């Protein structure tokens, strides 16, 4: 599981879009992989749910997630939460990455 993000244009909040992308790899069990993004710029966390991804049994390739794009108002965090029976142990994984506005 991986989380990457970048701020397009300047690295100043309110002026640049934060784009987060992620990937995951299953253990081959197959099933439905569910995930969501959690955006937090100090004004409260916002959860962005995404549609589940159905993985066939035996599939152990790396899969890309739908990107999350938003304009933060202040420094904060972007979080990716993935939960599914086929995701590498533990069944629910969370990655949090911080960013700082100039």
pLDDT digits (tens, 9 = 90+) for 36-89: 999 999 888 999 999 999 989 999 888 899 999 888 888 888 899 988 755 554
Q: Is pLDDT at 8 greater than 60 in this prediction?
A: no
Q: Where are the domains of the chain?
A: 2-99
DSSP for residue 27:
-
d(CA 10, CA 39): 19
Return d(Cα 26, Cα 8) in angstroms, integer: 30
Question: Could you tell me which CATH number the domain at 2-99 has?
Answer: 2.60.40.10
Average pLDDT over residues 13-28: 80
> How high is the pLDDT of residue 91?
60
Q: Residues 82, 69: contact at Cβ < 8 Å?
A: no
Whether omega for the bond prior to residue 80 falls within 30 degrees of 0, making it cis, is no
pLDDT at residue number 48: 96
In this predicted model, what pLDDT tens digit does every residue of 41-50 receive, in sequence order? 988 899 999 9
What pLDDT shows up at residue 4?
A: 64
């Amino acid at each position: 599981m991986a989380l990457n993000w970048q701020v397009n244009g300047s690295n100043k909040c309110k002026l640049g879009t934060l784009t987060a992308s992620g990937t995951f790899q299953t253990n081959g069990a197959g099933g439905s992989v569910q995930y969501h993004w959690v955006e937090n710029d100090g004004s409260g966390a916002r959860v962005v749910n995404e549609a589940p991804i159905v993985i066939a049994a035996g599939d152990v390739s790396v899969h890309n997630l739908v990107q999350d794009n938003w304009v933060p108002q202040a420094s904060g965090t972007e979080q990716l939460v993935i939960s599914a029976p086929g995701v590498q142990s533990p069944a629910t994984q969370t990655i949090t990455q911080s960013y700082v506005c100039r």
